Amino acid sequence: MPAAFPQPTPRRQLALRWAARLLACAAALAGAANASAAGNAACTNAQRIVFTQPVTVTAQERAQIAQLSPLRVLAVSAPPLSQYEEETGRYRGVAIDVLCAITQELGLDWRLDGAPTQTVTEKIAKVQNGQADLFLPLSATLERERLGHFTLALYTSYYVAIARKGRSIEIDRAADLARYRVGLVRGVALQPILEPLVPAAQLLLAQQSFAGGGLFDALRAGDIDVAVFSRDFFVEQRYNHELFDLEIVHTFKEYPRHYGFYLGPDAAHLQLATLLDRYLGAIDTSASLRAHQMGERQLIERYLHQRQQRLLLLISSAGAAVLALAAFIALRHYRQLTQRLEAGHRRIRQQQQALQAANHQLQQLSQTDALTGLANRRMLDQSLAREHARWRRTGSALSVALIDIDHFKQVNDRLGHTTGDAYLRAVAGVLARSLTRVTDLAARYGGEEFLCLLPDSDAHAARTVAERIMDGIAALQLPNPRAGADAGALTVSIGLVTLQSGSHGTADLLQQADVQLYAAKHAGRNRIQATTLRA
């Protein structure tokens, strides 16, 4: 029989128990330190974010920030905004750099859950039920807005149609997708827009995108003709997954996808979102964007690393008798590497061209109102001129609704400009939801005035839209304490004009809309005043 192990003495047993307790305490303290420092450890590139103008924060707001507990932050892999690194267990990306820069300015601490073990839906639910404070990055939908608060967008992307190279796919607008078998990831913001356009038998809703059995596997296998996906995420990830047999065939610029920070639903989170908006309105993220758009560079580095490992293996396993063969193999690999690098240079040039296109898209953002996300006056003037010219060609009715918030000065004077800005965003949200056609346009006209451009809409159809807007504003139940009166709910007055026939210009259309708005105000507000222009 084998010899028995000696039994430890009572003194040795006691010492072992104390040692185990000390090790457990040390592990717990180390875990707590790592958790509390997770946010600070990620803040290594905040200097890439440039503030283009000073941001004013009152002493009272700074005192309130100082009393906050460290923010509980969740993230999702969505390059270049955020990307989880397996080797470091951390996230990096433009959104992380922006969060670092703003929280350093505010002196606000935060920690990031580095383990991507939960789905996006589960992480969003954590923010909505108070188990986390902030989620990044996320694009706004109506359902999410009802259960939390979004900041201004820090990045805008577009959906694109992606097909296999060499296929004859002709798409000029979203309606053209009805001719093909279309796939997209279930739950994305474009799903409710495409479902009425694409027959159900031709629409595939995938549970995942790049993972095995997901959207792009279905496209490469020929189960679908076109995949609809976020442009920038595809451009970055196609290098990681080597999807070089796929290409973008169309960009849906009519459906911009705005990404920002998503916070919890309570008043404290709304106040924090409003404060973050001040900084987001004054940042330049171009340096961070250039640093994190590196999908192609990662491909080249991975290729070089793989080739180096293979070369070392060949050298270590070769003997003196096969030195000549080893030299030949090394030379062949070197030539292959040179060819690959030349191909990489070509892809880099293509990426530069793509960056130039992205800069052009950023210029398009100059047509968007920064506070409300609606079209600004420049885009409105261009769209109005285009639709008026089309009216002259076709004779189809053209309507305009000019909307003004009643007693809005009382909101700013008595509730503050921060609340006033929140009211403007809420009214803008109602306008965006009330216009159900892609040809309609909602714009911020100036101050608390908005304008809705309604092509191919006669007087009856335009009034239906105006009534839907008034119902939506009433449903908000936003307090509007007018001076010398009891507190009431926020209302709007609408001047509605329909261009039916004649030689009226755009100036006539806008002037008559202003006249009708004035008449609605003079008649007591909270009403619609309409007219039709004829020859």
Cis check: omega of the bond before 8, within 30 degrees of 0? no
Rounded to whole angstroms, the Cα distance separating 227 from 163 reads: 7
Task: From 271, 287, 269, select the one nearest 73 (Cα to Cα).
Answer: 269
In the structure encoding, which two tokens stand for residue 150, read together?
């979004």
Are 369 and 451 in contact by the 8 Å Cβ rule? The answer is no
Q: Which of 105, 448, 449, 467 is catalytic?
A: 448
Radius of gyration of the chain (CA): 29
In the structure encoding, which two tokens stand for residue 366, read together?
């100059």
**Residue in this structure with the two tokens 């192990």, named with its chain if needed:** 5
Please give the C-alpha separations between residue 458 and each of 63, 212, 231, 497, in angstroms, as whole numbers. 54, 51, 37, 10
β 492-499/528-533 pair status:
parallel
Tell the burial category of 9 from Cβ atoms under 10 Å away from its Cβ (0-12, 13-18, 19+): exposed
Rounded to whole angstroms, the Cα distance separating 419 from 219 reads: 47
Active site residue 448: yes
Rounded to whole angstroms, the Cα distance separating 171 from 193 reads: 16
Are 285 and 97 in contact by the 8 Å Cβ rule? The answer is yes
Angle made by CA atoms 259, 356, 346, in degrees to the nearest 5: 115
Active site amino acids: 448
